[in-house]
Amino acid sequence: MQAAFIFAIKPFQALYSIQMTLMKTADFDYHLPPQLIAQQPLEPRDSSRLMLLDRQSGAIEHSTLSSIADYLKEGDVLVFNDSRVIPARLKGKKVDTGGKVELLLLRHTEDGGWEALVKPGKRVAIGTKIEINQNAERTVAEVIGERDGGIRLVSFSDESMLSKLGSVPLPPYIKAPLADAGRYQTVYAEKSGSVAAPTAGLHFTRELLAKLQQKGVECLFVTLHVGLDTFRPVKEEDPQKHPVHREYGIITQEVSSKIARAKAERRRVICVGTTSVRLLEHAAAVFGGEVKPFRGWVDLFILPGYEFRVTDGLVTNFHLPRSTLLMLVSAFAGRELIKKAYAQAIAREYRFYSFGDCMLIL
């Protein structure tokens, strides 16, 4: 699989890179008043505002997420990411000194350990043991290696304790505590593995999903475990130099067949969230544009100039300045239309980021 992937994607990346030569990270910057960063989710989930963007005409409309079915049609396919956020934040103390340490688990490694961010990182060397306990539950983490970007490799004496000792991590821009941790999970979350929620899906209720299906909209589920890049801003002035970390994704035979059939019948494939976009587009690049079953690592970085092979529409939240996610939606809708949309969202006081409002781009 890896050899085939390298052969299939390198020529595509070479052509893609030529179109991005003059692009700067500053092209994706904007000023957001801090009060527009949503600190709590709305109730019910589907009461969030919905901005509608028409890529062909450039028209912008305003509605609510609960009315999204009015803008879809029979035969449309919605693709959701069913990854579930793990209790990845752990607090403990060094066994030898008692110093406080916090770990944020990023992903399970092939050899059974974990990649993790550790605070304070400079004081946690290889060999450090960290005791994590609560209400008589206990495990010991040991730092066994280092990787680029301040990432540590960690092993645990008893991994079965992680679900009891950890807490679901919230993005750093959310300052208020969350009364119900379940509100940072989608209602259809099933496969555990993410350290951040695929937030566009947070707006959907079971009732809304049933309403969409009754209209003849096909709802399909893929898996992409959201990883480190969600937390990292693009610091390089040339975005092509930004290191994109791998995330593990799965597209089943059943789902790939249904998406391939929809494309063949010229029905719209609409991704709910940028994670679904990255997984489908990565898999299509691996298989020469075809939609086939996929299981493996995804590291596709989508910038303006990218030619979308599967995605016909996108439901997405409003993203951070200079972020890879803002770059992806700009690639899909066009930078000028996204700038216009974000300016309107700020002027109309839309709520931004994970618990904020969203847009439907068609």
All structural domains of the chain with their residue ranges = 2-85+179-361, 89-165
For the segment(s) 2-85+179-361, the CATH number from 3.40.1780.10, 3.40.50.300, 3.30.1360.120, 3.40.50.80 is: 3.40.1780.10
pLDDT at 233: 81
pLDDT at 136: 86
Going by their DSSP bridges, the two strands 49-53 and 358-361 should be labelled as parallel
Contact partners, residue 224, CB within 8 Å, separation at least 6: 81, 83, 198, 247, 248, 249, 250, 275, 276, 278, 279, 298
* Element housing 251 (H / E): strand 247-251
pLDDT at 269: 98
Q: What is the mean pLDDT of residues 248-267?
A: 97
Q: What is the pLDDT of residues 263-307, one digit of tens each?
A: 999 999 999 999 999 999 999 999 999 999 999 999 999 999 999
Q: What is the pLDDT of residues 48-80, one digit of tens each?
A: 999 999 999 999 999 999 999 999 999 999 999
* pLDDT tops 90 at residue 200: yes
Please classify residue 51 by burial: count the beta carbons closer than 10 Å to its beta carbon, then call 0-12 exposed, 13-18 middle and 19+ buried: buried
pLDDT at 231: 65
pLDDT at 32: 97
* pLDDT tops 60 at residue 21: no
Q: How confident is the model at residue 160 (pLDDT cuts 50, 70, 90)?
A: confident
Coil vs helix vs strand at 256: helix
Average pLDDT, the chain: 91
Q: Any idea which residue has 């990411």 for tokens?
A: 81
Verdict on whether the full-model pTM lies above 0.75: yes
Q: How confident is the model at residue 236 (pLDDT cuts 50, 70, 90)?
A: very high
Q: Which residue has the higher pLDDT, 20 or 192?
A: 192
* pLDDT tops 90 at residue 109: no
pLDDT at 87: 92
CATH of region 89-165: 2.40.10.240
Q: Cα(175)–Cα(170) distance, rounded to whole angstroms? A: 9
* pLDDT tops 70 at residue 16: no
- Residue pair 200/317 in contact by the 8 Å Cβ criterion: yes
pLDDT at 12: 46
Q: Please report, rounded to a whole number, the percentage of residues in the chain having pLDDT higher than 70.
A: 93
